[in-house]
Structure 1
Amino acid sequence: MDQHLIVFIEVAERKNFTRAAEALHMTQPAISQYIAAFEKEIGVKLIERTNKSVELNKAGEMVYLYAKSIVKEYEHMKSLISDMKSEPGGELQIGASYTIGEYLLPKLLAKLQEQYPSIIPYITIGNTEDIGSKLLQRDIDIGLIEGDFFHKQIHIESFATDVMYLIGSSEEFISEQKITHKELENQTWIIREEGSGTRRMLEEFLKFNKINPKRVITLGSTQTIKEGVESGLGISLLSQLTFQKELELHRIVKLSTSGTPIKRNFSIIKYDQVFQPKTLQVFQEIVKEFA
């Protein structure tokens, strides 16, 4: 790996030549020489220096993005070569959308640990758009999402079908109570934040059925939405995975209206590439078998 790239990345991220030198176990003059030589090779100034700080200029920001990508690809190549000679093991960066991450992923991780104790999973939880973006940035190796995420570099594959129901408080509704679309308009709807796969499904349901709620409340987690529904704050549309316990305790009830329940896919997203680490392969197998 070109040392100039490594030095440049450290300086760009730490915004300080001295701290970059400490991180790389080099002297500060050596760092300066590397940066000067790199700028000469590129043919343009990349870093603006002041007495107090180091900042990337526009060219520097572009070079930084490419440098990070090159280093990640290099590390990925080394990992694949090493992987060919050993049993599945090492780090695996997994991203999951909230519903999957909170209600399904723990069971998958338990299975992974049981079968492959040498694999060390690192977990990122976010909404569907967050997970897709992190995969594109190579911050994770694989994503498990609700619904779809389309990009020319990303391969998407469904691994399970999720069922979503309209739910309300057991103190205000009876189980399977039929409710018309007109009545739904007069209800307070509790929905997830922008970028959420659950929110996307709810918005599609409302649009398709021409339902225009008079009041909408946005909350940032499924757990908070469930608590809001329980307390009578409003109604919502959630995966049955998320409210099964509350259903059994008679705190929440399913509501019935035309167009529900709604089915959607749970999907695996990953980079579309020929060579895949064994850790990635075996985790995918566990996901598919479990589903």
Structure 2
Amino acid sequence: MIDKSDQSTGLQHPKLTLRQLSIFVAMVRTGTTHAAAAQISRSQSAASAALAELEEALGASLFDRVGRRLVLNANGRALLAPAQAMLEQAGDIQSLFKSERGAHIRVAASFTIGEYLLPPRIAAWSQAWPKSLIQMRVGNTKEVIESVAELGVDLGFVEGPQTHAEVVIHPWLEDELVIVAAPGHPLTERVVARRQLDEAHWVLREADSGTRKVADEWLLNNLRQVNVAMELGSTEAIKRVVACGDGIAFLSGHAAEQSLKDGRLAIVRTDLPKARRRLGVVVHRRKQQGQAVLDFIRHCGAQIAG
């Protein structure tokens, strides 16, 4: 139907299409028309034409042109979340008519979660939905939250208390942090006094780690001094260093579990308060999640609103 305001010209307003939105999202991810066209198997001229049609339909430019690169502007940032949500919803509609879900889910996880908690859950998901593709990147809590906020991934899993104006963090699992040392270390032989922990050599995660933030809070609240001997960016590196040295570490119970069972590490027992934290699922505040993402979140044992 032609709007009355256009009857004199017989022209219709340009309309949005999924093809335009998919090219727009690809351009955001790649930064150039050429790379975006290659990602979605279109010619560069077709991709440029689709972007021009989209900007005409919206009556606004979506990128600033800086040399050969496309830099997302305020209009583009406002469009990105609803565009991704619409493309995911279109994928959900297609999946209704397939015998197996062929979803592509992009996940970011902080180190402890990405290395110890998510792999078995992803493996179980892939067995149930063999055509599904899960892509996971691992980083510290700050990096995970920024990835979700910038729509670089569909969801994140974090262990730290950080937040961001563009995301919502939903509660997931509980994790207790434990103090560990090498088997045979003097501090593993009996319940240790606070003074002994004051004098110990601590091996801790880096400053932006969620585990480190919880560890710092507990250490400052319970010890008179903390002798930090090493800061390492990997839980596995910490476990190996502690297992063959005289340092002690503050680790996620989930991360330490197998090493404690194998006898490569031992618990340092104290009469001080336990250190517990709630792990969380991070989603973008303004993006409506597709059904596949919601199903994956439920598969991992969490619940969020759609």
Q: So what's the TM-score if we normalise by structure 1?
A: 0.76
1:108 alignment counterpart:
121
Aligned residue in 2 for 1:97: 110
SS in 1 for 2:211: helix
- Do residues 47 (structure 1) and 65 (structure 2) align? yes
CA distance in 1, matches of 2:27, 2:280: 36
Task: Select which of 214, 224, 236 maps to 1:223.
Answer: 236
Shift of 1:235: 1.1
Distance 1:82 1:99, change over 3 A: same
- 1:127-180 CA-to-partner distances (Å, cap 9, x unmatched) read 222211111112222222214343455333323221211111224225363222
Tell me if the contact between 2:85 and 2:290 (Cα under 8 Å) persists in the aligned partners: no
Residue 231 of structure 1 and its aligned partner are, at CA, apart by 1.7
Answering whether residue 43 of structure 2 is matched by residue 25 of structure 1, we say: yes
**What is the aligned partner in structure 1 of residue 91 from structure 2?**
79
User: More displaced, 102-111 or 180-189?
Assistant: 180-189
Q: Does 1:198 align with 2:216?
A: no
Q: Secondary structure at the match of 1:177?
A: coil
TM-score by length of 2: 0.73
Distance in 1 between residues matched to 2:104 and 2:35, nearest whole Å:
27
Task: Indicate the residue corresponding to 2:263 in structure 1.
Answer: 250
Q: Is this contact kept in 1: 2:198–2:223, CA < 8 A?
A: no
> Residue 138 and residue 55 in structure 1: after superposition, are their counterparts in 2 closer, same or farther (change >3 A)?
closer
**C-alpha displacement at 1:64, in angstroms?**
5.8
User: 1:177 touches 1:254 (CA, 8 Å); kept in 2?
Assistant: no
- The answer as to whether partners of 1:191 and 1:236 remain within 8 angstroms in 2 is yes
Which residue does 1:156 correspond to in 2? 169
Contact 2:202 2:248 in 1 (8 A): yes
The alpha carbon displacement at 1:21 in A equals: 7.8
Tell me which amino acid in the other structure corresponds to 1:47: R
Provide the residue aligned with 1:146 in structure 2: 159
Match of 2:199 in 1: 186
Deviation of residue 44 (structure 1)?
Answer: 12
1:173 matches 2:191 = no
Distance 1:66-1:169 versus aligned 2 partners, 3 A rule: same
> How big is the shift at 1:251?
2.9
- Check the 8 A contact 2:183/2:265 in 1, yes or no: yes
> How far is the alpha carbon of 1:259 from its aligned partner?
2.8
**CA RMSD after TM alignment:** 3.8
Change (3 A) 1:265 1:171: same
Q: 2-side partners of 1:263 and 1:128: how far apart? A: 17
Which residues of structure 1 form unaligned runs of 5+?
none
Contact 1:80 1:276 (C-alpha < 8 Å) held by counterparts: no
After superposition, the Cα gap between the structure-2 partners of 1:48 and 1:274, relative to the gap in structure 1 and judged at 3 Å, is closer
Residues 234, 45 of structure 1: alpha-carbon distance in 2 compared, 3 angstrom cutoff: closer
Please state if 1:117 is matched with 2:130. Answer: yes
How far apart are residue 199 of structure 1 and its match? 0.5
Is residue 257 of structure 2 the alignment partner of residue 239 of structure 1? no
Deviation at 1:77, TM superposition (A): 4.4
- Answer whether contact 1:80 1:275 (CA < 8 A) is retained: no
Q: CA deviation at 1:256?
A: 1.8
Q: Residues 142, 13 of structure 1: CA spacing in aligned structure 2 closer, same or farther, 3 A cutoff?
A: closer
Q: Give the letter for the 1:25 counterpart.
A: S
Question: What letter corresponds to residue 104 of structure 2 in structure 1?
Answer: E
SS in 2 for 1:178: coil
Partner residue, 1:132: 145
Equivalent residues of 1:89, 1:279 under 8 A apart: no
Contact 2:159 2:211 in 1 (8 A): yes
Tell me which moved more, 219-228 or 155-164.
155-164
> Conserved in 2, the CA contact under 8 Å of 1:92 and 1:141?
yes
Aligned equivalents of 2:76, 2:257: Cα separation in 1? 47
- Residue aligned with 1:236, SS: strand
Q: CA deviation at 1:75?
A: 2.6
Contact kept, 8 Å, 1:149 with 1:156, in 2: the verdict is: no
